[in-house]
Amino acid sequence: MSDKNTPFFVGYLPSPGPLRWFLMTTIGLFIATFVSAGLFIGATQDAPMPSGFRFDYGPQTVTGVIELTPYPILRVTQGNELIQEGKTLMLAGQGKNGIDQRVMEADGQLRSITGIVLQRGTIDMLQVDGRARGVVDVEGTAPPMETVPLGRWSLAGEICDGKCLYGAMRPGTGLAHRACAALCLIGDVPPVFVSSQPIEGSDFMLITGPDGTVLPRAAYDFIGQFVSLEGDLERRGDVMILRIDPQTMELTAG
């Protein structure tokens, strides 16, 4: 057996003298190391803008024209105090789901939409109520809505899911959010491209595949990473739509 004078730690007895200082020093170093590591790692991350679900506004009901890009957007024709007429809203469902199935027959038609606003800075979207009142038919003829082509562009930035980016998650961007964004996009939440620099005052645009198709599977490998790509840009109300050319996607250097 070992030397009888070797100090031995027993949890429910007072610590032997020589071990006491060792334990105190080790505990102090442990706390200092983990606090320092936490602060250091946290300091290397980008701080997200204040954002989130605006349950404090309560459910918002607006009427407008549904357009399938193929991801649904609402061109508001009859707003309220918070959401003005003329605004364009991206629409998402509950959880990691879009509302494609609920509005697939409504392209170009009037609908009354009820939901909770998601807001990050000056951008926002609507999480549509899961009950029947979420999407309601409206009588009347939908007014014509203008689509303004902006030409073909080369851009750099990041592919995200619109719901998390607009406030459901913080930060909702970056590699750490990649898996969540992929699941949201698989669930048909509208995908959004965050541009490295603004175009016509906007850093964010809804992205689709070429010729009005959904985001191609090839783009899913680039979610949450910084990419350069080319695509055709258009403006619908205050939302820009980027129809990407998947052949041009590549990771940016550095």
Which residues of the shown chain bind another protein in the complex (CB under 8 A)? 41, 44, 144-157, 175, 182, 195-197, 199, 217-218, 220-221, 225-226, 228, 230, 251-252, 254
Classify residue 150 by burial, with Cβ atoms within 10 Å: 0-12, 13-18, 19+: middle
227: Cβ contacts below 8 Å, ≥ 6 apart: 156, 157, 158, 159, 249, 250, 251, 252
Smallest distance from another protein to CB 88, Å: 15
Query: CB–CB of 106/128 below 8 Å?
Result: no
3-state class (DSSP) for residue 83: coil
Smallest distance from another protein to CB 149, Å: 4
Smallest distance from another protein to CB 94, Å: 23
- The owner of tokens 């695509």 is 231
Smallest distance from another protein to CB 25, Å: 17
Smallest distance from another protein to CB 196, Å: 5
For residues 53 and 222, which CB has a smaller minimum distance to another protein in the complex? 222
Q: How many helices (H) and strands (E) does the chain have?
A: 5, 12
For residues 85 and 221, which CB has a smaller minimum distance to another protein in the complex? 221
For residues 17 and 198, which CB has a smaller minimum distance to another protein in the complex? 198
For residues 109 and 195, which CB has a smaller minimum distance to another protein in the complex? 195
- Please give the structure tokens belonging to residue 76: 């508001």
Q: What is the distance between the alpha carbons of residues 113 and 116, in angstroms, rounded to a whole number?
A: 10
For residues 46 and 137, which CB has a smaller minimum distance to another protein in the complex? 46
Q: What is the distance between the alpha carbons of residues 84 and 181, in angstroms, rounded to a whole number?
A: 29
Smallest distance from another protein to CB 214, Å: 15
For residues 2 and 197, which CB has a smaller minimum distance to another protein in the complex? 197
Compute φ and ψ for 181, nearest 5 degrees.
-65, -40
